[in-house]
A and B are shown apart, each in its own frame.
Chain A
Amino acid sequence: MFFFVACTSSHQWSAVHPSYKKAPSPEESIGMVGLESAFILTRAKWFSNRLEISMDSIHSVVDSLMTSNFTNEFKNYHSQVLFIPDSVKKNWPTESQKLDKSIFLKGQLPAQGIVIKNDTHTPPYLFILHEFVIGTDLDRSLYYDYTQGGQEVEVKTSVKHVTAILSYTLWDNLKQIPLFSSVIEIQEPYTNKLTETYLKQITQKAVKEIHQEISRRKSP
């Protein structure tokens, strides 16, 4: 276990732009993009059995549950959250941001020179959520470290943790630069009961960590 921690902690999981000097204050408005398509549930059957939701609707139910949890939690830290529909992303170029030697975060980012608006309001910052993966005993290296990609991972019958992996970018909407990009991993110990409150706790932890990372302004 110690070896495992030592291995994973050697990677840098975030990248900070040299011009990122000041974290967004709680009063400043933040546009939120990507929530409609970021959520991915792995091991749907396992979740379906535990949450007692039928397989037909497990994806849509958990998706809406997690997204609403996420936005509600986010509002605790930033009062002015503007929800921007995913249709805005349609023409954004897809590209990879380098976080570490072998770690790349792939996602869509707004074009240079174009300011994103929500009706009449122009938020100075955008929070772009690229992916929000929920599963059991996952490791973010397997998703974002290209040297570890293609590894076959055994699906274990005994679950120790429920994992959430979130990748996001804090975007300067006025200057169109990625201020802070990161991949976070939340491991929530699992005993034997899975409830909606339990999933809410994971989201709470994730949002808290995101907030801490953004406020710190420096990558670890």
Chain B
Amino acid sequence: MKKLALFFFLFFYVVDLSAKETVFNNDYTIWKDADILIWTKDSNLVISAKELCFSLKRINPTIGEPKCRIFGEWERDSVTALYGDWLKNNLAPNLDADHLRARSPEMIKKINNLEDKTVIYLTQKENQLYVALFEELSASPKTVQILPYSNNQIEQGEIIANALFKKKADRRLTKDERKKKAEEPDSYYLETAKHHSWIGVAYGKTQAPLPLTPKSWYKNKLNSRIKSYRNTKDSLSLWNFIEDEAPLTSIYFGRTWYGFIGAEFFYRYSSHKAKIDNTDPIYQELDYWKFSRHEIGLSLVFSKNYQSFSFLQTVPYAFIGFQYSFFNEDISLKEGIETPSRQYETRIKFENAYKGALIGAGTHLIFFKHYGINLKAGIGSRGRMLDSDPSSEAASEPTIIGGSTVDCFASIGIEYYWSIK
């Protein structure tokens, strides 16, 4: 029978139920298995704690098993009676929370001691129901709503639950957790997330000459050509052997702490053709010769967050890091050539791995907290491994090929961001 009655009311009052006027609405918590205490100074108010609880469970599935009761202690107490009467007199539209603040120190103490219970103050005025919600640690109501008044307990419960308790419920904290939370800084002051992570892909360009530097610095390296698969004027830089200009692709993952210091792990790929001297007839047998460069590394990132617009966060940063470079040779002879030349067999070999450093700067542009564009530029180097001690014959040892290979790069990336407070 009750269900039928409820259906009837829901059916006819569907507009009425959602009608509400918000006087002000500050952030408040709805606890799972909430303790809801109903406080009123009106003697003839139609409200049933049981019906309110039924409505809460129906409207908010996350609320668990709420307990509702009339807050008899506060209805009898002389300190709360004074404030309750005052609220009844003064609840009105166009006020803000501070106008309704409890001023008596005893009353403030009582509100502070509520712990995780929620108090809803109800009063009827001109066929409207004023509802003020109180939580611990705040002398003023967290929210005040003006709702339609109903003479039916079920419907009234439904209206209140709809207006105030639709948000997702939070788990109630244990005693220790409460204690810890009380010592935490107010989330209002926690403007920067504790951890900020991103994952992204970037596309760009790499080349040996640094912009705005004289050409003469690179002329020898860039004009160098390989003769007989191994002869160049100089072998210190790999750019004597392979093309320096290439498109660069990278994927990376990074994280900052408190928006200030962080780390980024990256992988970069580029492909470089060997610079053969076409005038040398030995290369007639050769179809193609190129090197794929794979680099992995880790960089230390220093950044600063600026909230440029409500939807855009700008994060300029600088980075310094180290990397390992691997050059994979990809070579093929023309079809039909069975035996390569002796020079082919004894062609130049690069080191297995080069170790290097990189330095640079950039900026993340984060839109709507999650979607980022990353502009980045820097200089990277790769050289000989310094892990082994120089041997006694070091002086007579030949120069390590590619012992000092420097390039610069610039890239644009798209990223996804998430933050953990």
Contact = CB atoms under 8 A, between A and B. Distances in A.
A18 B83 CA distance: 19
A176 B86 contact: yes
Contacts of B102: 112
Contact of B103 (A18, A109, A174, A175): A109
Q: Number of contact residues on A: which range applies?
A: 10 to 19
Name the residue in B81, B103, B104 with the highest tally of chain A Cβ atoms < 10 Å from its Cβ: B103
Given A93-B104, A93-B105, A113 B95 contact: no
Interface string A145-184: 0000000000000000000000000000011110000000
Contacts of B90: 19, 175-177
Nearest to A111: B104
Interface string B66-87: 0000000000000001111110
Contact of B99 (A18, A109, A111): A18
B92 interface: yes
Contacts of B105: 93
A17 B99 contact: yes
Interface string A18-32: 110000000000000
Contacts of A175: 86, 89-90
A114 interface: yes
A95 interface: yes
B103 A95 contact: yes
B408 to A, nearest CB: 50
A112 B99 contact: no
Given A93-B105, A175-B89, A113 B99 contact: no
Contacts of B83: 112-113
Interface in B99-117: 99, 102-105, 107
Interface string A52-95: 00000000000000000000000000000000000000000101
A55 B344 CA distance: 115
B103 A112 contact: yes
A153 B94 CA distance: 42
Contact of B82 (A17, A95, A112): A112
A6 B84 CA distance: 45
B76 to A, nearest CB: 15
B103 to A, nearest CB: 5
Interface string A93-133: 10100000000000001011110000000000000000000
A185 B92 CA distance: 33
B392 to A, nearest CB: 74
B87 to A, nearest CB: 8
A3 B83 CA distance: 47
A186 to B, nearest CB: 30
Nearest to B78: A113
A15 to B, nearest CB: 11
Contacts of B85: 113
Contacts of A111: 82, 103-104
Given A19-B92, A113-B83, A177 B99 contact: yes
A45 to B, nearest CB: 40
Nearest to B108: A93
A86 B85 CA distance: 25
A111 B107 CA distance: 11
Contact of A113 (B81, B92, B94): B81
Name the residue in B92, B94, B104, B107 with the highest tally of chain A Cβ atoms < 10 Å from its Cβ: B104
Nearest to A17: B99
Contacts of B104: 93, 111-112
Contacts of A114: 82
A93 B103 contact: yes
A111 B105 CA distance: 10
Nearest to A92: B103
B95 A112 contact: no
Given A17-B99, A18-B99, A93-B104, A112 B92 contact: no
A174 B102 CA distance: 17
A114 B83 CA distance: 9
A109 B103 CA distance: 10
Contacts of A109: 103
A114 B99 CA distance: 17
Nearest to B82: A113
A18 B82 contact: no
Interface string B304-337: 0000000000000000000000000000000000
Q: Which 10 A-B pairs have the closest CB atoms?
A: A113-B82, A112-B86, A113-B86, A113-B85, A175-B89, A18-B94, A93-B103, A112-B83, A112-B103, A111-B104
27 contacts: A17-B99, A18-B92, A18-B94, A18-B95, A18-B99, A19-B90, A19-B95, A93-B103, A95-B103, A109-B103, A111-B82, A112-B82, A112-B83, A112-B86, A112-B102, A112-B103, A113-B81, A113-B83, A113-B85, A113-B86, A114-B82, A175-B86, A175-B89, A175-B90, A176-B86, A176-B90, A177-B90
Interface of A: 17-19, 93, 95, 109, 111-114, 174-177
Given A18-B94, A93-B104, 20 more contacts: A18-B95, A19-B90, A19-B92, A93-B105, A109-B103, A111-B82, A111-B103, A112-B82, A112-B86, A113-B81, A113-B82, A113-B84, A113-B85, A175-B86, A175-B89, A175-B90, A176-B86, A176-B90, A177-B90, A177-B99
